Structure 1
Amino acid sequence: MTVHLIADSASDLPKSFIEENRIGFIPLHVTLDGNEYEDTVTIQADHIFQAMRDGKVPKTSQASPDTIKKVFLHYAELGEPAIYIAFSSGLSGTYQTAVMVANEIKEEFPDFDLRIVDSKCASLGCGLAVMYAQTLCVNGNTIQEIETSVKSFCARMKHIFTVDDVAYLARGGRISKTSAFVGGLLNIKPILHVDDGRLVPLEKLRGQKKLFKRILEMMKEESGDWADQTVGISYADNEDTALSMKQQIEEAFHPKEVILHSIGSAIGAHSGPGTLAIFFLKP
Protein backbone atom coordinates (compact mmCIF):
# COMPACT_ATOMS: atom_id res chain seq x y z
CA MET A 1 0.00 0.00 0.00
CA THR A 2 1.24 3.49 -0.86
CA VAL A 3 2.69 5.45 2.05
CA HIS A 4 2.17 9.21 1.75
CA LEU A 5 4.50 11.87 3.11
CA ILE A 6 3.60 15.14 4.79
CA ALA A 7 6.04 18.01 5.43
CA ASP A 8 5.76 21.55 6.74
CA SER A 9 7.20 24.78 5.41
CA ALA A 10 10.03 24.82 7.98
CA SER A 11 11.63 21.97 6.02
CA ASP A 12 12.63 24.59 3.41
CA LEU A 13 12.19 22.13 0.56
CA PRO A 14 11.93 23.31 -3.05
CA LYS A 15 8.32 23.75 -4.16
CA SER A 16 9.11 21.60 -7.19
CA PHE A 17 10.06 18.66 -4.96
CA ILE A 18 6.86 18.99 -2.93
CA GLU A 19 4.69 19.10 -6.04
CA GLU A 20 6.45 16.43 -8.10
CA ASN A 21 6.30 13.93 -5.24
CA ARG A 22 2.77 14.90 -4.17
CA ILE A 23 3.83 15.55 -0.60
CA GLY A 24 1.20 16.90 1.77
CA PHE A 25 2.16 20.43 2.78
CA ILE A 26 1.54 22.30 6.04
CA PRO A 27 2.58 25.99 6.10
CA LEU A 28 3.64 27.71 9.29
CA HIS A 29 2.42 31.27 9.88
CA VAL A 30 4.25 34.60 9.73
CA THR A 31 2.86 37.92 10.96
CA LEU A 32 4.13 41.18 9.48
CA ASP A 33 2.65 44.67 9.85
CA GLY A 34 -0.33 43.17 11.65
CA ASN A 35 -1.18 40.79 8.81
CA GLU A 36 -0.88 37.01 9.06
CA TYR A 37 0.51 35.00 6.16
CA GLU A 38 1.16 31.36 5.30
CA ASP A 39 4.85 30.68 4.80
CA THR A 40 5.73 30.14 1.10
CA VAL A 41 2.02 30.28 0.18
CA THR A 42 0.94 33.89 0.71
CA ILE A 43 4.36 35.36 1.57
CA GLN A 44 7.87 34.65 0.35
CA ALA A 45 11.15 34.90 2.19
CA ASP A 46 12.53 37.85 0.19
CA HIS A 47 9.63 39.99 1.44
CA ILE A 48 10.49 39.08 5.02
CA PHE A 49 14.20 39.74 4.59
CA GLN A 50 13.61 43.20 3.15
CA ALA A 51 11.21 44.02 5.97
CA MET A 52 13.86 42.97 8.52
CA ARG A 53 16.48 45.16 6.84
CA ASP A 54 13.97 48.02 7.15
CA GLY A 55 13.84 47.45 10.90
CA LYS A 56 10.57 45.54 11.08
CA VAL A 57 10.19 42.52 13.34
CA PRO A 58 8.10 39.71 11.84
CA LYS A 59 6.64 37.13 14.18
CA THR A 60 6.03 33.46 13.53
CA SER A 61 3.52 30.97 14.84
CA GLN A 62 2.82 27.30 14.44
CA ALA A 63 0.66 25.86 11.71
CA SER A 64 -3.04 26.19 12.45
CA PRO A 65 -5.01 23.16 13.68
CA ASP A 66 -7.49 23.64 10.81
CA THR A 67 -4.75 23.47 8.18
CA ILE A 68 -3.22 20.39 9.76
CA LYS A 69 -6.62 18.73 10.04
CA LYS A 70 -7.41 19.39 6.37
CA VAL A 71 -4.17 17.70 5.27
CA PHE A 72 -4.59 14.73 7.60
CA LEU A 73 -8.24 14.23 6.61
CA HIS A 74 -7.28 13.99 2.96
CA TYR A 75 -5.27 10.83 3.61
CA ALA A 76 -7.71 9.47 6.19
CA GLU A 77 -10.49 9.62 3.60
CA LEU A 78 -8.26 7.88 1.07
CA GLY A 79 -7.76 5.10 3.60
CA GLU A 80 -4.01 5.07 2.99
CA PRO A 81 -1.15 5.43 5.52
CA ALA A 82 0.78 8.67 5.93
CA ILE A 83 3.83 9.98 7.79
CA TYR A 84 4.27 13.60 8.83
CA ILE A 85 7.93 14.57 9.40
CA ALA A 86 7.56 17.64 11.59
CA PHE A 87 9.70 20.67 12.36
CA SER A 88 11.48 20.27 15.71
CA SER A 89 9.20 20.36 18.74
CA GLY A 90 11.92 22.36 20.49
CA LEU A 91 11.45 25.25 18.06
CA SER A 92 7.72 25.18 17.30
CA GLY A 93 4.45 23.94 18.74
CA THR A 94 3.43 22.52 15.36
CA TYR A 95 4.41 18.95 16.29
CA GLN A 96 2.33 18.97 19.49
CA THR A 97 -0.66 20.43 17.66
CA ALA A 98 -0.33 17.78 14.96
CA VAL A 99 -0.40 15.01 17.57
CA MET A 100 -3.56 16.51 19.09
CA VAL A 101 -5.26 16.78 15.69
CA ALA A 102 -4.21 13.25 14.75
CA ASN A 103 -5.84 11.87 17.90
CA GLU A 104 -9.09 13.64 17.02
CA ILE A 105 -9.11 12.29 13.46
CA LYS A 106 -8.41 8.75 14.61
CA GLU A 107 -11.62 8.85 16.65
CA GLU A 108 -13.50 9.19 13.35
CA PHE A 109 -11.10 7.03 11.29
CA PRO A 110 -9.80 4.42 13.75
CA ASP A 111 -8.07 2.41 11.00
CA PHE A 112 -6.13 5.39 9.65
CA ASP A 113 -2.40 4.68 10.07
CA LEU A 114 -0.81 8.09 10.62
CA ARG A 115 2.67 8.42 12.08
CA ILE A 116 4.03 11.77 13.27
CA VAL A 117 7.81 12.06 13.60
CA ASP A 118 9.38 14.83 15.66
CA SER A 119 12.43 15.38 13.47
CA LYS A 120 14.16 17.60 16.04
CA CYS A 121 15.60 19.18 12.89
CA ALA A 122 15.17 22.54 11.19
CA SER A 123 15.26 23.89 7.66
CA LEU A 124 16.98 21.57 5.17
CA GLY A 125 17.96 19.28 8.04
CA CYS A 126 14.29 18.37 8.18
CA GLY A 127 14.07 18.64 4.39
CA LEU A 128 16.78 16.04 3.86
CA ALA A 129 14.83 13.69 6.14
CA VAL A 130 11.75 14.13 3.96
CA MET A 131 13.83 13.42 0.83
CA TYR A 132 15.23 10.30 2.46
CA ALA A 133 11.73 9.17 3.42
CA GLN A 134 10.55 9.72 -0.15
CA THR A 135 13.22 7.32 -1.39
CA LEU A 136 12.02 4.72 1.10
CA CYS A 137 8.44 5.19 -0.07
CA VAL A 138 9.42 4.72 -3.72
CA ASN A 139 11.34 1.58 -2.79
CA GLY A 140 8.20 0.08 -1.28
CA ASN A 141 9.14 0.10 2.40
CA THR A 142 6.35 -0.36 4.94
CA ILE A 143 5.21 2.55 7.07
CA GLN A 144 6.87 1.00 10.12
CA GLU A 145 10.17 0.60 8.28
CA ILE A 146 10.01 4.19 7.04
CA GLU A 147 9.21 5.58 10.48
CA THR A 148 12.05 3.66 12.13
CA SER A 149 14.57 4.61 9.44
CA VAL A 150 13.59 8.27 9.41
CA LYS A 151 13.91 8.57 13.19
CA SER A 152 17.41 7.12 12.98
CA PHE A 153 18.25 9.45 10.09
CA CYS A 154 17.06 12.52 12.01
CA ALA A 155 19.05 11.54 15.10
CA ARG A 156 22.22 11.65 12.99
CA MET A 157 21.50 14.98 11.33
CA LYS A 158 24.07 17.66 12.09
CA HIS A 159 23.22 21.35 11.81
CA ILE A 160 25.93 24.01 11.57
CA PHE A 161 24.79 27.53 10.88
CA THR A 162 25.73 31.14 11.23
CA VAL A 163 24.02 34.51 10.84
CA ASP A 164 25.24 37.69 9.21
CA ASP A 165 23.88 40.03 11.87
CA VAL A 166 23.43 38.85 15.45
CA ALA A 167 20.90 41.64 16.01
CA TYR A 168 18.27 39.53 14.27
CA LEU A 169 18.77 36.69 16.77
CA ALA A 170 18.45 39.22 19.60
CA ARG A 171 15.14 40.52 18.23
CA GLY A 172 13.84 36.97 18.22
CA GLY A 173 15.04 36.41 21.78
CA ARG A 174 17.72 33.88 20.77
CA ILE A 175 20.62 35.87 22.28
CA SER A 176 20.89 38.90 24.56
CA LYS A 177 20.72 42.40 23.09
CA THR A 178 24.06 43.22 24.74
CA SER A 179 25.74 40.29 23.01
CA ALA A 180 24.23 41.37 19.71
CA PHE A 181 25.50 44.94 20.14
CA VAL A 182 29.05 43.88 20.98
CA GLY A 183 29.05 41.25 18.26
CA GLY A 184 27.98 43.79 15.67
CA LEU A 185 30.75 46.19 16.66
CA LEU A 186 33.44 43.53 16.47
CA ASN A 187 32.16 41.79 13.31
CA ILE A 188 31.74 38.63 15.36
CA LYS A 189 30.04 35.73 13.57
CA PRO A 190 28.46 33.05 15.76
CA ILE A 191 28.42 29.36 14.93
CA LEU A 192 25.35 27.58 16.23
CA HIS A 193 23.84 24.13 15.95
CA VAL A 194 20.72 22.24 16.97
CA ASP A 195 21.01 19.88 19.92
CA ASP A 196 18.03 17.67 20.76
CA GLY A 197 15.86 19.96 18.68
CA ARG A 198 16.96 23.21 20.32
CA LEU A 199 19.19 26.07 19.21
CA VAL A 200 22.61 26.02 20.89
CA PRO A 201 25.55 28.43 20.35
CA LEU A 202 28.93 26.80 19.77
CA GLU A 203 31.60 29.37 18.96
CA LYS A 204 32.18 32.98 17.95
CA LEU A 205 34.63 34.05 15.24
CA ARG A 206 35.61 37.33 13.70
CA GLY A 207 35.28 37.61 9.93
CA GLN A 208 33.86 35.39 7.22
CA LYS A 209 37.14 33.82 6.13
CA LYS A 210 37.83 32.43 9.59
CA LEU A 211 34.20 31.42 9.88
CA PHE A 212 34.21 29.31 6.71
CA LYS A 213 37.52 27.68 7.65
CA ARG A 214 36.14 26.69 11.05
CA ILE A 215 32.91 25.33 9.56
CA LEU A 216 34.92 23.05 7.27
CA GLU A 217 37.02 21.92 10.24
CA MET A 218 33.88 21.09 12.20
CA MET A 219 32.48 19.13 9.27
CA LYS A 220 35.69 17.10 9.10
CA GLU A 221 35.55 16.43 12.85
CA GLU A 222 31.91 15.32 12.75
CA SER A 223 31.69 13.42 9.48
CA GLY A 224 32.06 9.83 8.39
CA ASP A 225 32.01 8.59 4.81
CA TRP A 226 31.21 11.44 2.40
CA ALA A 227 30.93 9.33 -0.75
CA ASP A 228 27.25 8.59 -0.18
CA GLN A 229 26.40 11.84 1.60
CA THR A 230 23.94 14.48 0.46
CA VAL A 231 24.84 17.80 2.06
CA GLY A 232 22.21 20.51 2.42
CA ILE A 233 22.93 24.24 2.39
CA SER A 234 20.18 26.74 3.09
CA TYR A 235 20.71 30.46 2.78
CA ALA A 236 18.90 33.74 3.30
CA ASP A 237 19.24 36.24 0.45
CA ASN A 238 22.96 35.40 0.10
CA GLU A 239 23.11 32.83 -2.68
CA ASP A 240 26.64 33.85 -3.71
CA THR A 241 27.91 33.05 -0.22
CA ALA A 242 26.11 29.70 -0.31
CA LEU A 243 27.62 28.88 -3.70
CA SER A 244 31.09 29.68 -2.35
CA MET A 245 30.48 27.40 0.62
CA LYS A 246 29.22 24.68 -1.71
CA GLN A 247 32.40 24.86 -3.78
CA GLN A 248 34.60 24.62 -0.68
CA ILE A 249 32.64 21.63 0.63
CA GLU A 250 32.88 19.84 -2.71
CA GLU A 251 36.62 20.44 -2.92
CA ALA A 252 37.23 19.34 0.67
CA PHE A 253 34.94 16.29 0.93
CA HIS A 254 33.63 15.27 -2.52
CA PRO A 255 30.12 14.36 -1.28
CA LYS A 256 27.63 12.60 -3.52
CA GLU A 257 25.52 15.74 -3.81
CA VAL A 258 25.14 19.23 -2.38
CA ILE A 259 21.62 20.70 -2.37
CA LEU A 260 21.05 24.44 -2.06
CA HIS A 261 17.78 26.14 -1.25
CA SER A 262 16.60 29.40 0.24
CA ILE A 263 15.50 29.55 3.85
CA GLY A 264 11.78 30.24 4.08
CA SER A 265 9.92 32.91 5.99
CA ALA A 266 9.30 30.82 9.11
CA ILE A 267 13.00 30.18 9.75
CA GLY A 268 14.25 33.40 8.18
CA ALA A 269 12.07 35.59 10.39
CA HIS A 270 14.28 34.56 13.33
CA SER A 271 17.70 34.20 11.71
CA GLY A 272 17.53 37.14 9.30
CA PRO A 273 19.09 37.82 5.90
CA GLY A 274 22.64 36.54 5.54
CA THR A 275 22.02 33.27 7.36
CA LEU A 276 23.95 30.26 6.11
CA ALA A 277 23.23 26.72 7.32
CA ILE A 278 24.91 23.40 6.50
CA PHE A 279 23.35 19.97 7.10
CA PHE A 280 24.93 16.53 6.92
CA LEU A 281 24.85 13.15 8.65
CA LYS A 282 27.07 12.26 11.58
CA PRO A 283 28.49 8.68 11.64
Structure 2
Amino acid sequence: MIKITADSTCDLSPELLHTLDITLTPLHVLIDEEDFRDGINIIPQDIFKHVGEHNRTCTTAAINTYEYEEFFSQFVDQYEAVIHINLGSDFSSCYQNAKIAAQSFDNVYVIDSQNLSTGSGHLVYEAAFLAREGRTAHEIVEKVQALIPKVNASFVIDRMDYLKKGGRCSSMEAFGATLLKIKPSIEVTHGKMAVGKKYRGNFENCLEKYIKDRLQQDDKIDKSRIFITHSMCPPETVQKVRGWIAQYTEFEEVIETSAGCTISAHCGPNTLGILYKTK
Protein backbone atom coordinates (compact mmCIF):
# COMPACT_ATOMS: atom_id res chain seq x y z
CA MET A 1 0.00 0.00 0.00
CA ILE A 2 1.01 3.60 -0.68
CA LYS A 3 0.49 6.32 1.94
CA ILE A 4 -0.45 9.81 0.76
CA THR A 5 0.47 12.74 2.98
CA ALA A 6 0.46 16.50 2.52
CA ASP A 7 1.01 19.85 4.17
CA SER A 8 -1.99 21.27 6.04
CA THR A 9 -2.21 24.00 3.40
CA CYS A 10 -3.97 21.69 0.90
CA ASP A 11 -7.31 22.72 2.49
CA LEU A 12 -9.11 19.41 1.97
CA SER A 13 -12.02 18.82 4.34
CA PRO A 14 -11.73 16.44 7.31
CA GLU A 15 -14.31 14.20 5.60
CA LEU A 16 -12.21 13.87 2.44
CA LEU A 17 -9.04 13.28 4.44
CA HIS A 18 -10.72 10.49 6.43
CA THR A 19 -12.35 8.86 3.41
CA LEU A 20 -9.14 8.84 1.36
CA ASP A 21 -6.80 8.06 4.30
CA ILE A 22 -4.71 11.21 3.79
CA THR A 23 -2.62 12.49 6.72
CA LEU A 24 -1.54 16.12 7.02
CA THR A 25 1.38 17.75 8.75
CA PRO A 26 0.60 21.22 10.11
CA LEU A 27 2.43 24.45 9.33
CA HIS A 28 3.28 26.87 12.11
CA VAL A 29 1.07 29.90 12.71
CA LEU A 30 2.74 32.69 14.68
CA ILE A 31 0.56 35.17 16.58
CA ASP A 32 3.01 37.76 17.86
CA GLU A 33 5.42 35.53 19.83
CA GLU A 34 3.08 32.54 20.23
CA ASP A 35 3.59 29.46 18.05
CA PHE A 36 0.51 27.46 17.02
CA ARG A 37 -0.01 24.50 14.68
CA ASP A 38 -2.39 24.89 11.76
CA GLY A 39 -5.63 22.99 12.43
CA ILE A 40 -4.30 21.50 15.67
CA ASN A 41 -4.54 24.28 18.23
CA ILE A 42 -5.57 27.16 15.98
CA ILE A 43 -8.27 27.55 13.33
CA PRO A 44 -9.10 30.48 11.01
CA GLN A 45 -11.73 31.89 13.37
CA ASP A 46 -8.99 32.26 16.01
CA ILE A 47 -6.83 34.17 13.54
CA PHE A 48 -9.66 36.55 12.68
CA LYS A 49 -10.23 37.17 16.38
CA HIS A 50 -6.54 37.84 17.10
CA VAL A 51 -5.94 40.00 14.03
CA GLY A 52 -9.32 41.60 13.45
CA GLU A 53 -10.41 42.24 17.03
CA HIS A 54 -7.10 42.58 18.87
CA ASN A 55 -4.88 43.91 16.06
CA ARG A 56 -2.20 41.30 16.65
CA THR A 57 0.32 40.28 13.99
CA CYS A 58 -0.12 36.89 12.33
CA THR A 59 2.40 35.10 10.11
CA THR A 60 3.02 31.51 9.05
CA ALA A 61 6.23 29.49 9.16
CA ALA A 62 7.41 26.33 7.44
CA ILE A 63 7.62 22.86 8.89
CA ASN A 64 11.29 22.18 9.63
CA THR A 65 13.38 19.21 8.54
CA TYR A 66 13.31 17.47 11.93
CA GLU A 67 9.50 17.71 12.04
CA TYR A 68 9.24 16.15 8.58
CA GLU A 69 11.59 13.32 9.59
CA GLU A 70 9.44 12.60 12.65
CA PHE A 71 6.30 12.75 10.51
CA PHE A 72 7.57 10.42 7.77
CA SER A 73 8.95 7.94 10.31
CA GLN A 74 5.37 7.13 11.41
CA PHE A 75 4.58 5.58 8.02
CA VAL A 76 7.74 4.26 6.35
CA ASP A 77 7.62 0.84 8.02
CA GLN A 78 3.87 0.40 7.60
CA TYR A 79 3.65 1.25 3.90
CA GLU A 80 5.43 0.33 0.72
CA ALA A 81 6.03 4.03 0.08
CA VAL A 82 5.03 7.48 1.32
CA ILE A 83 4.19 10.22 -1.20
CA HIS A 84 4.14 13.69 0.29
CA ILE A 85 2.72 16.71 -1.56
CA ASN A 86 4.01 20.08 -0.43
CA LEU A 87 2.85 23.65 -0.52
CA GLY A 88 4.50 25.27 -3.56
CA SER A 89 8.21 25.94 -3.15
CA ASP A 90 7.81 29.59 -4.14
CA PHE A 91 5.51 30.18 -1.15
CA SER A 92 7.47 28.40 1.58
CA SER A 93 10.61 26.40 2.39
CA CYS A 94 8.43 23.39 3.27
CA TYR A 95 9.31 21.57 0.04
CA GLN A 96 13.06 22.03 0.50
CA ASN A 97 12.83 20.88 4.13
CA ALA A 98 10.73 17.84 3.21
CA LYS A 99 13.20 16.87 0.46
CA ILE A 100 16.07 16.96 2.92
CA ALA A 101 14.08 14.90 5.44
CA ALA A 102 13.15 12.34 2.77
CA GLN A 103 16.85 11.56 2.24
CA SER A 104 16.77 9.71 5.56
CA PHE A 105 14.38 7.13 4.06
CA ASP A 106 14.38 4.85 1.03
CA ASN A 107 10.66 5.01 0.34
CA VAL A 108 9.59 8.64 0.75
CA TYR A 109 8.78 10.68 -2.36
CA VAL A 110 8.26 14.43 -2.13
CA ILE A 111 6.37 16.50 -4.73
CA ASP A 112 6.43 20.28 -5.12
CA SER A 113 2.78 21.12 -5.88
CA GLN A 114 3.76 24.58 -7.20
CA ASN A 115 0.42 25.64 -5.75
CA LEU A 116 -1.51 26.34 -2.57
CA SER A 117 -4.85 25.59 -0.95
CA THR A 118 -6.99 23.22 -3.01
CA GLY A 119 -4.76 23.96 -5.99
CA SER A 120 -2.41 21.50 -4.28
CA GLY A 121 -5.49 19.75 -2.90
CA HIS A 122 -6.34 18.58 -6.43
CA LEU A 123 -2.99 16.80 -6.57
CA VAL A 124 -3.43 15.24 -3.13
CA TYR A 125 -6.94 14.08 -4.05
CA GLU A 126 -5.69 12.59 -7.32
CA ALA A 127 -2.77 10.84 -5.65
CA ALA A 128 -5.07 9.25 -3.08
CA PHE A 129 -7.32 7.80 -5.79
CA LEU A 130 -4.32 6.46 -7.71
CA ALA A 131 -3.07 4.82 -4.52
CA ARG A 132 -6.49 3.22 -4.03
CA GLU A 133 -6.27 1.81 -7.56
CA GLY A 134 -3.06 0.04 -6.59
CA ARG A 135 -0.70 2.14 -8.72
CA THR A 136 2.99 2.01 -7.91
CA ALA A 137 4.72 4.93 -6.23
CA HIS A 138 6.54 5.81 -9.46
CA GLU A 139 3.29 5.80 -11.42
CA ILE A 140 1.58 8.04 -8.87
CA VAL A 141 4.47 10.51 -8.77
CA GLU A 142 4.62 10.65 -12.57
CA LYS A 143 0.88 11.22 -12.98
CA VAL A 144 0.71 13.84 -10.22
CA GLN A 145 3.66 15.75 -11.64
CA ALA A 146 2.02 15.75 -15.06
CA LEU A 147 -1.09 17.28 -13.51
CA ILE A 148 0.73 20.19 -11.81
CA PRO A 149 0.65 22.61 -14.79
CA LYS A 150 -3.01 21.79 -15.44
CA VAL A 151 -4.33 23.13 -12.12
CA ASN A 152 -6.10 26.49 -12.35
CA ALA A 153 -6.11 28.22 -8.95
CA SER A 154 -7.36 31.70 -8.08
CA PHE A 155 -9.16 33.63 -5.34
CA VAL A 156 -10.99 36.90 -4.90
CA ILE A 157 -10.20 38.91 -1.76
CA ASP A 158 -12.86 41.06 -0.12
CA ARG A 159 -10.63 43.18 2.12
CA MET A 160 -7.05 44.38 1.98
CA ASP A 161 -6.09 44.83 5.63
CA TYR A 162 -4.70 41.31 6.03
CA LEU A 163 -2.50 41.71 2.94
CA LYS A 164 -1.31 45.03 4.35
CA LYS A 165 -0.48 43.57 7.76
CA GLY A 166 1.38 40.74 6.08
CA GLY A 167 3.47 43.19 4.08
CA ARG A 168 1.98 42.14 0.74
CA CYS A 169 0.62 45.57 -0.13
CA SER A 170 1.25 49.10 1.10
CA SER A 171 -1.06 51.10 3.34
CA MET A 172 -1.77 53.42 0.41
CA GLU A 173 -2.69 50.51 -1.89
CA ALA A 174 -4.97 49.04 0.77
CA PHE A 175 -6.62 52.39 1.43
CA GLY A 176 -7.17 53.07 -2.28
CA ALA A 177 -8.61 49.61 -2.93
CA THR A 178 -10.96 49.91 0.05
CA LEU A 179 -12.08 53.40 -0.96
CA LEU A 180 -12.79 52.34 -4.55
CA LYS A 181 -14.34 49.00 -3.50
CA ILE A 182 -11.75 47.07 -5.49
CA LYS A 183 -11.62 43.30 -4.95
CA PRO A 184 -8.46 41.86 -6.50
CA SER A 185 -8.20 38.33 -7.81
CA ILE A 186 -5.05 36.44 -6.84
CA GLU A 187 -3.87 33.84 -9.33
CA VAL A 188 -1.26 31.10 -9.19
CA THR A 189 0.73 30.99 -12.43
CA HIS A 190 3.82 28.84 -12.98
CA GLY A 191 4.13 28.28 -9.25
CA LYS A 192 4.02 31.96 -8.36
CA MET A 193 1.26 34.14 -6.93
CA ALA A 194 0.27 37.27 -8.83
CA VAL A 195 -2.52 39.83 -8.86
CA GLY A 196 -4.95 39.15 -11.68
CA LYS A 197 -8.03 41.10 -12.66
CA LYS A 198 -9.31 43.72 -10.22
CA TYR A 199 -13.06 43.76 -9.71
CA ARG A 200 -15.08 46.67 -8.39
CA GLY A 201 -18.30 46.68 -6.39
CA ASN A 202 -19.75 44.60 -3.60
CA PHE A 203 -18.20 41.20 -2.94
CA GLU A 204 -20.98 39.05 -4.41
CA ASN A 205 -21.16 41.06 -7.64
CA CYS A 206 -17.40 40.75 -7.97
CA LEU A 207 -17.60 36.99 -7.41
CA GLU A 208 -20.20 36.64 -10.15
CA LYS A 209 -17.97 38.54 -12.62
CA TYR A 210 -14.92 36.54 -11.53
CA ILE A 211 -16.63 33.18 -12.08
CA LYS A 212 -17.87 34.27 -15.50
CA ASP A 213 -14.36 35.38 -16.45
CA ARG A 214 -12.77 32.12 -15.28
CA LEU A 215 -15.29 29.70 -16.77
CA GLN A 216 -17.04 31.27 -19.76
CA GLN A 217 -14.01 31.66 -22.02
CA ASP A 218 -12.13 28.50 -21.06
CA ASP A 219 -12.93 25.61 -23.42
CA LYS A 220 -10.11 23.49 -21.97
CA ILE A 221 -11.69 22.92 -18.57
CA ASP A 222 -11.57 19.40 -17.16
CA LYS A 223 -15.12 18.99 -15.93
CA SER A 224 -14.42 16.18 -13.48
CA ARG A 225 -14.04 18.36 -10.37
CA ILE A 226 -14.03 21.90 -9.05
CA PHE A 227 -13.32 23.12 -5.53
CA ILE A 228 -15.05 26.13 -4.01
CA THR A 229 -12.67 27.10 -1.23
CA HIS A 230 -13.42 30.02 1.04
CA SER A 231 -12.68 31.61 4.40
CA MET A 232 -15.88 32.10 6.37
CA CYS A 233 -18.10 33.23 3.50
CA PRO A 234 -21.84 33.14 4.32
CA PRO A 235 -23.64 29.95 3.20
CA GLU A 236 -25.96 32.00 0.97
CA THR A 237 -22.95 33.44 -0.86
CA VAL A 238 -21.49 29.98 -1.46
CA GLN A 239 -24.86 28.77 -2.72
CA LYS A 240 -24.94 31.63 -5.23
CA VAL A 241 -21.43 30.69 -6.33
CA ARG A 242 -22.61 27.14 -6.99
CA GLY A 243 -25.40 28.54 -9.17
CA TRP A 244 -23.05 30.79 -11.14
CA ILE A 245 -20.67 27.89 -11.74
CA ALA A 246 -23.55 25.77 -13.06
CA GLN A 247 -24.46 28.50 -15.55
CA TYR A 248 -21.15 28.12 -17.36
CA THR A 249 -19.80 24.61 -16.74
CA GLU A 250 -21.36 21.37 -15.53
CA PHE A 251 -18.82 19.69 -13.27
CA GLU A 252 -19.16 16.09 -12.14
CA GLU A 253 -18.10 17.10 -8.62
CA VAL A 254 -18.46 20.49 -6.95
CA ILE A 255 -16.66 20.27 -3.61
CA GLU A 256 -16.83 23.00 -0.99
CA THR A 257 -13.95 23.32 1.45
CA SER A 258 -12.89 25.86 4.05
CA ALA A 259 -9.60 27.69 3.66
CA GLY A 260 -7.18 26.82 6.41
CA CYS A 261 -4.98 29.07 8.49
CA THR A 262 -2.43 29.90 5.80
CA ILE A 263 -4.86 31.41 3.29
CA SER A 264 -6.87 32.95 6.11
CA ALA A 265 -3.83 34.57 7.75
CA HIS A 266 -2.72 36.22 4.53
CA CYS A 267 -6.07 37.02 2.88
CA GLY A 268 -8.54 37.41 5.73
CA PRO A 269 -12.23 36.49 5.99
CA ASN A 270 -14.51 36.59 2.96
CA THR A 271 -11.96 35.22 0.52
CA LEU A 272 -13.28 32.78 -2.07
CA GLY A 273 -11.76 30.89 -4.96
CA ILE A 274 -12.72 28.35 -7.58
CA LEU A 275 -10.00 25.83 -8.35
CA TYR A 276 -10.21 23.32 -11.18
CA LYS A 277 -8.11 21.40 -13.70
CA THR A 278 -7.62 21.90 -17.43
CA LYS A 279 -7.22 19.23 -20.08
Partner Cα distance (2:199, 2:177) in 1: 10
How far apart are 1:234 and its partner, in Å?
A: 0.9
SS at match of 1:259: strand
- Match in the other structure for 2:164: 170
Aligned to 1:184: 178
More strand by share: 2
Render the CA deviation track for 1:17-46: whole Å, top value 9, x for unaligned. 223333232100101142111100111111
TM, length-normalised to structure 2: 0.93
Q: Residues of 2 paired with 1:96 and 1:46: CA distance? A: 30
Q: Distance in 2 between matches of 1:211 and 1:250?
A: 14
Which one of 119, 124, 130 corresponds to residue 125 of structure 1? Answer: 119
Equivalent residue number for residue 236 of structure 1: 231
Aligned pairs for 1:67-78 within 5 A:
67-78=67-78
After the TM superposition, which residues 1-283 of structure 1 pair with which residues of structure 2 at under 5 Å, given as runs? Answer: 2-54=1-53, 55-78=55-78, 80-103=80-103, 105-106=104-105, 112-207=106-201, 208=203, 209-226=205-222, 228-240=223-235, 241-283=237-279
Q: Which runs of 5+ in 2 are unaligned?
A: none
Regions of 4+ moved over 3 Å: none
Aligned sequence identity (%): 28
Q: Please give the alpha-carbon distance, in whole angstroms, between the structure 2 residues aligned to 1:87 and 1:15.
A: 18
Q: Distance in 2 between matches of 1:165 and 1:248?
A: 22
CA contact (8 A) 1:156 1:282 kept: yes
Distance 1:281 1:79, change over 3 A: closer
Q: What is residue 109 of structure 1 aligned with on the other side?
A: none
Residues 172-231 of structure 1: per-residue CA shift (max 9 Å, x gap): 1222322111001111010120112221011112113144223322222234255x4200
Shift of 1:79: 5.6
With over 3 angstroms needed to count, the CA separation of the structure-2 counterparts of 1:22 and 1:173, relative to structure 1, is same
- Cα separation, 1, equivalents of 2:250 and 2:76: 43
* Amino acid paired to 2:25: I
Q: Unpaired segments of 5 or more residues in structure 1?
A: 107-111
Measure the CA separation in 1 of the matches of 2:79 and 2:3: 11
**1:65 positional shift:** 2.6
Give per-residue Cα distances to partners, 1:50-80, cap 9 Å, x unaligned: 2222232211101133321112112223362
Query: How far, CA to CA, are the matches of 1:254 and 1:180 in structure 2?
Result: 36
Structure-2 separation of matches of 1:92 and 1:192: 17
Aligned equivalents of 2:262, 2:184: Cα separation in 1: 20
Q: What secondary structure does 2:74 align onto?
A: helix
Change in Cα spacing, 1:213 to 1:79, as seen in structure 2 (3 Å) is: closer
Backbone CA RMSD of aligned residues = 1.6
Change (3 A) 1:134 1:239: farther
Take 1:189 and 1:26, find their aligned partners in 2: how far apart are those partners?
32
SS of equivalent residue, structure 2 residue 158: coil
Counterpart AA for 1:234 = T
